Amino acid sequence: MQETGWEYAIVHSHDPAQLLAKRLAALLTNTVFHTMDITGPVVLISDLHLTAEDPSGLECFEAFTRHLHGVDQLYILGDLFEYWVGDDSAEALGLTGVCTALKRLHESGTQITLMTGNRDFLLGQDFCKSTGCHLLQEPAEEEISGHLILLQHGDKLCTDDINHQQHRAIVDQPSWRETFLNKSFSQRQSLAQAGRSQSEAGKRYKSADIMDVNHAAVENA
């Protein structure tokens, strides 16, 4: 895909159990895909929400990274994982395959830049050291192939969703994160799963407009 002089690919999904597997599987089984290399300077992905509860999604992502060898740079713009409860949790969450895939991609020469999202905001430097990722704080302006690009996960632009913004303000506090990470893995996992359930339940009472980005916030970003 060509756009303003540089190549990119975007894989985006809000339903990892279905859309991620379908979209990546379609990519990986596409005849054209198998007869060409993804060799453009930059690939951007976001919102894959990878989880061991969706093994097909994990397999597709790992296969996807194998086709990226030779790409200059991969940007992961938030919510790579459905949830993340600390950099010591990859094995317990069944996500070591993803970490290994990222490390291999990094070792092949691809620079991996990682931005956290509203689900995996606890990804930290230990994860980056083990995978070769570079952690990027949002919002960030990056020069990509001569173009200055504003990169952002985007949920902070959903300013009409007051409850979500209040939650983000709490979990972004260093004191909250320190307290949370000092809990046992089982406690952290239970809290994260409860938070996921509460979030999904809350969506039933929110309109799509409220959960979407605010256009004025986007223009002012």
pLDDT at position 6, please?
Answer: 35
pLDDT at position 40, please?
Answer: 60
pLDDT at position 169, please?
Answer: 94
CA 132/CA 149 separation, integer angstroms: 23
Q: For the range 140-145, what are the long-range contacts, defined as Cβ-Cβ under 8 Å and sequence gap of 24 or more?
A: 140/115, 142/75, 142/113, 144/6, 144/41, 144/42, 144/73, 145/5, 145/6, 145/41, 145/42
Q: Alpha carbon of 9 to those of 71, 122, 129: distances in Å?
A: 11, 26, 25
pLDDT at position 214, please?
Answer: 80
List Cβ neighbours of 68 (8 Å cut-off, separation of 6 or more).
38, 43, 74, 105, 110
pLDDT at position 96, please?
Answer: 98
CA 46/CA 217 separation, integer angstroms: 20
Rounded to two decimals, what is the model's pTM? 0.80
Judge whether 158 and 214 are in contact, CB under 8 Å: yes
pLDDT tens digits, the chain, 221 residues: what are they?
333 333 334 444 344 434 554 555 554 444 333 333 444 678 889 999 999 999 988 998 998 898 887 889 999 999 999 999 999 999 999 999 999 999 999 999 999 999 999 999 999 999 999 999 999 999 999 888 788 888 999 888 888 889 889 999 999 999 999 999 999 999 999 999 998 888 888 777 778 777 787 888 878 87
